[in-house]
Structure formats: C-alpha cells, structure tokens
Amino acid sequence: MSFDLQEWYKKNSKEKILYSYLGAISEQKISDILDNVEDILTENGENVKLLKRVYYTAVETLQNLFHHSEVPNSKIDENTAFEKVVAFILNEKLDEKYHIITGNFIKKTNLRILKERIDQLNFLSQEEIKVLYKLILNNEEFSEKGGGGLGMIDLVKRTGNNLNYNLYNFDNDYIFFSLRIAI
C-alpha cells in the first residue's frame, strides 16, 4: 500500500496537540508558526529555559524543512497541489517533555547521507556533541543551501535527546521522512 499523507497526519495529530500544520512551507509561514508556538508556550506559563528550547527546536526543524524538503514527481493526493508540503506538530507536554514531529518528502538519493548523519549524532555522547558543535561552528564552510551543517547537531546538543526518525516509501524516487524530537 502506498503512503497516505493525510492518514499519517491524522495518526500523528491524535495525541493532545498544542499546534499543528500541514501544507506548503515558506519564509512567511515559518514566521507565522513560530509566533504561534511562542504565544502558546508563553500563555501556558512555561519557564524561560524550556520555552526557549522548544522555540529553538521549532526554528531549526522548520528551517530544515524549508531548506531540504522536495516536491515529489507524483501527486501526493487529490487535495494537495504540487508544492513543498510539510508537516509540523507540537504536542502537549507529556512526562515533563514536549515533542515536535515533522514530516517532509526527500529524494531517495539523499537518504543515505541524512540517515548516516542522524545515526552518527545519536551514537555520540553529549560531551562529544559539544566538541563536534564547536568544531563545525569554527569551520568556515557553508553548505550550498545556506546551512552550516550545524542544525541537527544543535538540536541534539540543546535537547539532550536522540533524533527519532521513520521512513515511508512514497514512490520510486521519493521517501516521506518523519522526525520526532523530545524537548
């Protein structure tokens, strides 16, 4: 059976959610989502440290979606146009942790490098992550998409948690990639 984006979104929005979005991503949309996330956490009276960590995680994950999402060749479903469609879900706090779930399409040819990067980060200790962060911060290169290669490392460094991902086959060339981070 092929991947059904709407079903995936429904299933992942089942838990108690604070905010969720499924649709096209743009710079403007990112600003809107971030404003919403900040307002919700502030209204909830969340403490500065956790509020900022959740906000940072939202910034980095949304900007990763913006820079790295692809538009599959085949139509996603009847209701979705050919555009850079992404999902972003912020769950209510559970056992003292918030969870952010994101989803986007990527080319299968880019999968190996992404998986390797995440698996490597999940394997490192928090001390090793801190050393790696400083090494890459001080390395002058920027990737062609403007990222410094720091985004994923910073997520692990700040949250102190592993990046959990799932892969769903979409068609011959594209995979739906979902990422879950506890904060």
Partner 1 sequence: MESIKIERTRKTPNVVFNAETGKIQIEGKSIPENSIEFYKPLVDWLEEYGKTPQKQTEVNIKLEYFNTSSSKCILDVFKKLETIHKTGNSVVINWYYEEDDEDMLEAGEDYQSILKIPFKMIEMEE
Residue ranges in contact with partner 1 by CB under 8 A: 27, 30-31, 34-35, 47-49, 52-53, 55-56, 59-60, 63, 66-67, 133-134, 137-138, 140, 142, 146-148, 150-151, 153-154, 158
Residue pair 58/90 in contact by the 8 Å Cβ criterion? yes
Q: Residue 59 corresponds to which tokens in the numbers above?
A: 């910034």
Q: Residue 172 Cβ, how far from partner 1 at the closest point, in Å?
A: 30
Of 64 and 91, nearer to partner 1 (C-beta) is: 64
Residue type, 115: K
Q: Residue 23 Cβ, how far from partner 1 at the closest point, in Å?
A: 18
Residue pair 41/114 in contact by the 8 Å Cβ criterion? no
Of 109 and 138, nearer to partner 1 (C-beta) is: 138
Q: Residue 55 Cβ, how far from partner 1 at the closest point, in Å?
A: 6
Q: Residue 60 Cβ, how far from partner 1 at the closest point, in Å?
A: 6
Beta bridge partners of 181: 100
Of 114 and 167, nearer to partner 1 (C-beta) is: 114
Of 16 and 49, nearer to partner 1 (C-beta) is: 49
Residues in contact with 113: Cβ distance below 8 Å, sequence separation at least 6, in sequence order: none
Beta bridge partners of 100: 90, 181
Distance between CA 171 and CA 148 in Å, rounded?
Answer: 30
